[in-house]
Amino acid sequence: MTSGERAPKPETCTMTRRLLTVCLFHFALLTGLGCQQKMAQQPYYRPYEPADFFADGRSSRPLEAGVVHRGQHLDADPLVTGLTQAEWARFWRRAAPATKVDVTAATPPEDRESAFGAPRFDPRPGQPHSNPDVQIYVTEFPFEITGADLSRGAERYTAFCAGCHGPLGNGKGKIWERGFLKPTSYHTEKVEANEPDETAQIPLGVSRGYWKWDISIPVREVPVGYFFEVITKGYGQMPDHAAQVPPADRWRIIAYIRTLQLSQRAEYGKLPPDIQQKVNAGGRQP
Ligand code: HEC
């Protein structure tokens, strides 16, 4: 100690000692009681263990109705793929050994499909899918569509699709009005008087996915399985709806879109007599 420095005052020393003692006491208290938190000792059930709490006696609760099954893509049923069984098997035979998708001109169409989400047709001559007649997407609904299914489809369409595609399916939804890309029209003619002209190179109502593969098919004629794939995976700027719309509802929406399409092209002669009368009463000429 140099001459200028003073020794600490005795009071300060006592206070520091007291503080130290208090800290040590708390530390000893905590360790003495053990560090295990109470959370670790909560009551719990082992898997499949019965429980009195619920009326059905099960401790594991069943899924809520309407929960969307996230593993649905692993199932080969057309109900959840929209693909024919043959196409599904062929796709997975190819996809399984693939590690990384390298997209070059020589890349097989199915690998490109998994990279881009585009339809599986390939316009290059000699390719297994250069023929649009190849059955890739199912053309039939996987279950019989009833009136109730159509009503549900209409309701779900309004909730999930009409915002962009418009209530009539001509792509004039509210989202488009606010600047989003105009979705493909489901119709090949304009269905509203003030419908603007298409700016794209693709003719009105022709599927853009198929067009990419040099195939010109109106959305009106694409197989229902293609719709299913677009809803499930999304297409271009359209987001996918796999997590929001369960598979059965996707088919119901597609069925409703088919009725929307039919409503613009219904043949007078094929209408039931009572509807014909209504048309006549409305002053529309057949
Ligand atoms: C956020 C807006 C939005 C929603 C919601 C939406 N779509 Fe789309 N949809 C689009 C756009 C935009 C396109 C065109 C995409 C492109 O060209 O990149 C499109 C394209 C499509 C196509 C045609 C693909 C083709 O080959 O041209 C189908 C079929 C379709 N949508 C069905 C649906 C269905 C069914 C729903 C409801 C479940 C739905 N969409 C919901 C914006 C939307």
Which two three-digit tokens encode residue 43?
A: 């009551």
Which atom belonging to ligand 1 lies closest to the Cα atom of 182? 12
Q: What is the pLDDT of residue 99?
A: 41
155-203, pLDDT tens digit by residue? 999 999 999 999 999 998 999 989 899 899 999 999 887 777 766 688 9
Q: 79-114: buried (b, 16+ CB within 10 Å) or exposed (e) per residue?
A: bbbbbbeebbebbeeeeeeeeeeeeeeeebbbbbbb
Q: Residue 135: phi, psi to the nearest 5?
A: -80, 100
Which atom belonging to ligand 1 lies closest to the Cα atom of 241? 38
213-238, pLDDT tens digit by residue? 677 889 999 989 999 989 998 988 99
Ligand 1, CB cutoff 6 Å, lining residues: 160-161, 163-165, 175, 181, 183-184, 207-209, 219, 227, 230-231, 235-239, 241, 245, 253
pLDDT category of residue 141 using cuts at 50, 70 and 90: very high
Higher pLDDT, 280 or 29: 280
Contact call for residues 256 and 186 (beta carbons, < 8 A): no
Distance between Cα 235 and ligand 1 center (Å): 7
Torsion of Cα atoms, 185 then 187 then 191 then 193, to 10°: 60
